[in-house]
Amino acid sequence: MRFHVGLLDSFWAEAVNHASYLINRSPSTVLGFKSAKEVWSEKPVDYSKIRVFGCSAYVHISSDERSKLKPKSTHCIFLGFEKEVKGFKLWDINNRKKVVSRDVVFDETVMPLNKIESRREKKDNAEIKATKIPLISSDKLRWSKLSKMSNLMVLRKKKSISIVHQLGIRWSKKQGRLNR
CA separation for the pair 160, 103 (Å, rounded)? 65
The model carries a pTM of 0.59
Mean per-residue pLDDT, 160-173 = 67
Residue 173 belongs to a domain: no
How large is the greatest C-alpha to C-alpha distance in the chain, in angstroms?
A: 99
Residue 21 belongs to a domain: yes
Residue 11 belongs to a domain: yes
Q: Residue 139 belongs to what domain range?
A: 127-157
| pLDDT of 117 over the 70 cut | no
Residue 145 belongs to a domain: yes
- Average pLDDT value for the chain: 79
Dihedral sign for Cα 47, 41, 104, 58, please: negative
Highest mean pLDDT range out of 132-136, 153-157, 162-166? 153-157
> Do 76 and 88 contact (CB within 8 A), yes or no?
no
Q: Are residues 71 and 133 in the same domain?
A: no
Q: Are residues 94 and 153 in the same domain?
A: no
CA angle (14, 77, 12) in 5-degree steps: 20
| pLDDT of 89 over the 80 cut | yes
pLDDT above 90 covers a percentage of the chain that reads 17
**Residue 164 — pLDDT band, cuts 50, 70, 90?**
confident
Counting Cα atoms < 13 Å in the Cβ hemisphere of 70 gives 11
- The helix or strand, by DSSP H or E, that contains position 98, with its residue range, turns out to be strand 97-101
- The helix or strand, by DSSP H or E, that contains position 139, with its residue range, turns out to be helix 138-157
Mean per-residue pLDDT, 44-65 = 90
Mean per-residue pLDDT, 82-96 = 89
CA angle (126, 127, 133) in 5-degree steps: 85
CA angle (72, 74, 77) in 5-degree steps: 150
Q: Are residues 111 and 131 in the same domain?
A: no
Residue 175 belongs to a domain: no
Based on the structure, what is the number of domains in the chain? Answer: 2
Strands 104-107 and 88-92: unpaired
| pLDDT of 137 over the 70 cut | no
Q: Are residues 50 and 93 in the same domain?
A: yes
Residue 92 belongs to a domain: yes
Q: Are residues 16 and 82 in the same domain?
A: yes
Determine the pLDDT at residue 132: 53
